[in-house]
Amino acid sequence: MIEEGDGIADAESIAQALLDGNSGGANNLEQRVSDLETARDEHTDQINELIDDTDGLRTDLDKEVKTDRDAAIKAAVDAAKTALTESFTNQLAEVIAEFDTQLDKVKIPIDGVYISLSNVNPATTLGYGTWLQVSKGRAIVGWSDVAGDPNWTKTVGSTSGEYEVVLTKGQLPKFEAKGIKNQSRYWQYGPEKRPDEGFIPNWDDANSMSGNDEAHNNVQPSMVFAIWKRTA
């Protein structure tokens, strides 16, 4: 009989079986050949099983490798995507911060003035700040530190002036009234009635009044703007 080691006959066992078969005649030889064919078939089946097992292992290994590879690729892509997103977000935040800084430099500061032909609040048109409309109906006068200028020009935000003015006696221009003398050294016109010397015997010393005592316009030719002060 053919001896097997781990299920597979070795060459020495096969040779010994052939020698043993020669001593048993033809029938014995045929039996030995049949045994050898059977053993070959068994070995072939075992080899095929090993091949199938190997193929199965290779398939499983390929699946695991592919799974691991896909997982590794996905992890690498996700990590790169996260890094790029974080980098872009940080750079965008820096750009926005720098833009805001530069924008603040050109914004009208608090206590600054915005002059426009529109009476719409600058918070709407400019998009920032709190605004108060100032100098309504008033002209703008520059602040002054000149000694001879009026005191009200030395305080920012102060007001002065009026639309109409009624002149007082002190505001009238200086004038002098004189009478006319005749050759007799008496007044030709005057309050005294002198029928023997004056040329106008019916002279009356009463003074007639004229004018309506109305105020006169005190406004220069102007153009109206909306003036806004930023308060916050």
Query: pLDDT per position in the chain (232 positions), as tens?
Result: 444 444 445 556 655 665 555 545 556 777 877 888 888 888 888 888 888 778 778 887 777 777 877 888 888 888 888 888 899 999 999 999 999 889 888 999 999 999 999 999 999 999 999 999 999 988 888 899 999 999 998 999 888 888 888 888 887 788 776 555 544 444 455 555 555 454 455 555 555 666 777 777 777 888 999 999 999 9
Q: What is the pLDDT of residue 145?
A: 93
Q: What is the pLDDT of residue 2?
A: 41
DSSP state of 187: B
**pTM of full prediction above 0.85:** no
The first and second tokens of residue 222, run together, are 């102007």
User: What is the pairing mode between strands 131-133 and 164-165?
Assistant: unpaired
Cross-strand bridge partners of residue 229? 113, 132
Q: What is the pLDDT of residue 30?
A: 79
Q: Taking a C-beta distance cutoff of 8 angstroms, is the pair 226, 117 a contact? A: yes
Q: What is the pLDDT of residue 184?
A: 47
Q: What is the pLDDT of residue 157?
A: 87
Q: What is the pLDDT of residue 78?
A: 86
Q: What is the pLDDT of residue 11?
A: 57
Sheet of 131-133: strands edge to edge?
113-116, 226-230, 131-133
134: phi then psi, degrees, rounded to nearest 5: -125, 175
Nearest to 43 by CA among 93, 5, 86: 5
The first and second tokens of residue 182, run together, are 């005749």
